[in-house]
Amino acid sequence: MRKIAFVFSGQGAQLPGMGKELFEHSPASRAVFEQIDRIRPATAEQCFHATKEELNTTINTQPCLFAVDLAAAEALREKGITPDLVAGFSLGEIPALAFSGVLDTESAFRLVCKRAEEMHKCALHSDGAMAAVIGMENGQVEEICSAHNVYPVNYNFKSQLVIAGEREKLTVAVDALKSIGGRVILLPVSGAFHTPLMNEASAELAKYVSGMNFNKPLIPIYSNITGNLYTENVGASISNQVKSPVRWQTTIENMANEGVDTFIEVGVGKTLCGFIKKILPEATVYNVEDYKSLEHTISSLNGV
């Protein structure tokens, strides 16, 4: 029997117009945007009409991606498609917590706004950057990171590891990686996320989540930090996540070990679909980001 996981897109996937078709065609998606707009006015307008530059600023990126991720997931649920397991990539872990019932939508959205605010502050103070290293063994990349005081941060799949750090140091590390055959792509983000450069953001989030109530998940959810199912200490995981590596390959492998054979990326783009196919070539993957992809996913799952 088919077993489905929803995976929630992370930062870097943002683009102008995201979520607009979901808003127009899905009542459940529209309800998500309307609820979020009552908390942070004009978030929907920002998703639909902001420039790429505006959307690439962390303080805007995270609330907007949260909205689109959750809207896409709710559009599927509205059509009767529900997952057995969920996970989110970095920022995507927060809408995943909302969808799984660990947090209600308002609490999760306020949390993501706080997360964006604190990470934005750190980014302004540190001049950090991130880059994806392709075609090298993780051990090689980790050695060069250590030698140049930068950090491995996103373990995406076997031959892709994202690194981050202060821009000047990252540039030196990138040159070193290229000199031994690595392919490197700079990422469209405004800070060195998932590194110690986010320590202050982590500390502020720890204070913020200390007053929150976390429910037992209605749908099992995986933690970025461990790649394993959440059991307890959700608040600590959320606050530590911003300064810790994302164990995405481990997450997907663990989902597969639980019998998941079908993954649906909810949010913007197909980045996670690409990662999953690298990790599990035999997996079936779909993405839902607009009306066309929603209809295609539903018809495919229903065998139409």
Residues identified as active-site: 90, 194
Amino acid code (one letter) for 148: H
Residue 81 amino acid letter: I
Query: 182-185: which pairs have CB atoms within 8 A and are 24 or more residues apart?
Result: 182/133, 182/134, 182/135, 182/136, 182/140, 182/141, 183/133, 183/134, 183/135, 184/131, 184/132, 184/133, 184/134, 185/131, 185/132, 185/134
Residue with tokens 């997907």: 252
Q: Which residue has the tokens 């078709």?
A: 21
Count of Cβ atoms closer than 10 Å to residue 207 Cβ: 11
Q: What's the CA gap between 277 and 273, in Å, rounded?
A: 6
Q: In what order do the strands lie in the sheet with 85-88?
A: 85-88, 4-8, 262-266, 284-288
Q: What is the helix (H) or strand (E) element at residue 243, kind and residue range?
A: none
E strand segments, the chain: 4-8, 85-88, 128-134, 151-157, 160-166, 183-186, 262-266, 284-288
CB-based contacts of 23, cutoff 8 Å, min separation 6: 29, 30, 33, 44, 48, 71
Alpha helix ranges (H) inside 8-147: 20-25, 27-39, 43-49, 52-55, 58-78, 93-99, 105-126, 138-147
3-class DSSP state of 165: strand
Q: Which two tokens stand for residue 95?
A: 């809408």
8-state DSSP, 126: H
